[in-house]
Structure formats: structure tokens, C-alpha cells
Amino acid sequence: MSRYRNEAIVGAALLALISAYLFKNVSKSHFDETRASVNRSVEEIEEAKALKSLWHAGDMKKRLEKLKAVVPASRLSTFKMQRRKVTMVLKDLKASELNRFMNRMASMPLRIKKLSIERKNDRFGLECLCKW
């Protein structure tokens, strides 16, 4: 038993070293994977927050009132807001008025569900259903 005592001592220390090295490597891999996964999750959370705040905005009613004022009141046939939905029907719009209205609407975080623009002679009619 004592024949290889010195070698056994060194062997045991070597075994401990190998075990500790493997433990360190496994822990490092685990850490790297966790960090990569957490970074991905954090990026997703930030993206989800940004998209949600953009397409699920809370203060749209005031902004829609401003949109309404872009065209003369006489052009506005229907302007109905229900919960998080708005239905707009405009008629006899000049090209410049249509252009101004569309530019303003496109810059707002409204989800355009239905849009219909029809030209009759030189005037345009517009129907739009949007959500937010």
C-alpha cells in the first residue's frame, strides 16, 4: 500500500486539479451560455417594449383631434372613435388636402386596417379604419 504512496499523493492532487479544471470550464460555459441567452432576452424585452409603446400608444385621442383639424371640417363626413379604434370618412378632398392628411396620418402610430381612396373627377374620397 505504501509502495507508491508518493505517486498516489501526486496522482490525487492531479486528479483534484483535473476535476477543478473541468468544473471551471463547465462553469464558464454555463456562464457564457447564460450571458448570451440573457443578452438575447434583454434585447427582445427592449424591442417588445418599444414596439408595444409604438403600436399600443395611450394618448391617441388628442392626436386624432389634431389630425381632424388638418382638413376643413366640411370635408369630414364621419369621424367616429370607439375605444381604441377610429373610423374616418372624408369626401371632396383636393389633392393637396389628401396629401397633407395622408402625410400626417402616416406619421402617427395608427394601425391602418382598411384604407380606400377613390378619385371622382378632380376630388378624392377617403375611407379609413385604424386601430391603436
Partner 1 sequence: MFGKRNRLYIFHETVEIGDEGSTIDILLTPRHYLVRKESLPVKYPFQARKLAPSIMDDLLDDGEYEYIVYRDNGEWVFIAFDPEELTERAILMGIDPDNIGKIYFAQQICDRLEKPLRLESGEILAVVDGKATLMPGALFDDGDVGSVSDTEALRPAKSYAQGIRRGRFIGERESYILAGALAFIALLFFVEGMRYRGAAEAEAQRIEQAAGDDTTLAGTLTRENILSKYRKIDRRQREIRERLREIASLLGRGVLLRSVKSDEKGFEAVLDIESPSKKGIVESKLEKMGMKYKSSGTTIVIRESGG
Considering only residues 18 to 37 of the shown chain, the ones binding partner 1 according to CB under 8 A are: 19-21, 23-24, 26-28, 30-31, 34-35
* Nearest CB to partner 1, comparing residues 45 and 69: 45
Closest CA to 113 of 101, 127, 129, 102: 129
Rg (CA), the chain: 33
Closest CA to 105 of 60, 53, 74, 75: 60
Residue 116 and residue 124 in contact, taking contact as beta carbons nearer than 8 Å: no
* Nearest CB to partner 1, comparing residues 73 and 106: 106
Binding residues with partner 1: total (CB under 8 A): 53
Buried b (16+ CB within 10 A) or exposed e, 3-13: eeeeeeeeeee
Buried b (16+ CB within 10 A) or exposed e, 29-41: eeeeeeeeeeeee
Considering only residues 39 to 68 of the shown chain, the ones binding partner 1 according to CB under 8 A are: 41-42, 44-49, 51-52, 54-56
* Nearest CB to partner 1, comparing residues 37 and 78: 37
Binding string, residues 69-108; x marks residues near partner 1 by CB under 8 A? ------------------------------x--x---x--
Query: What does the binding site for partner 1 look like in residue numbers (CB under 8 A)?
Result: 1-7, 9-10, 12-14, 16-17, 19-21, 23-24, 26-28, 30-31, 34-35, 38, 41-42, 44-49, 51-52, 54-56, 99, 102, 106, 111-119, 124
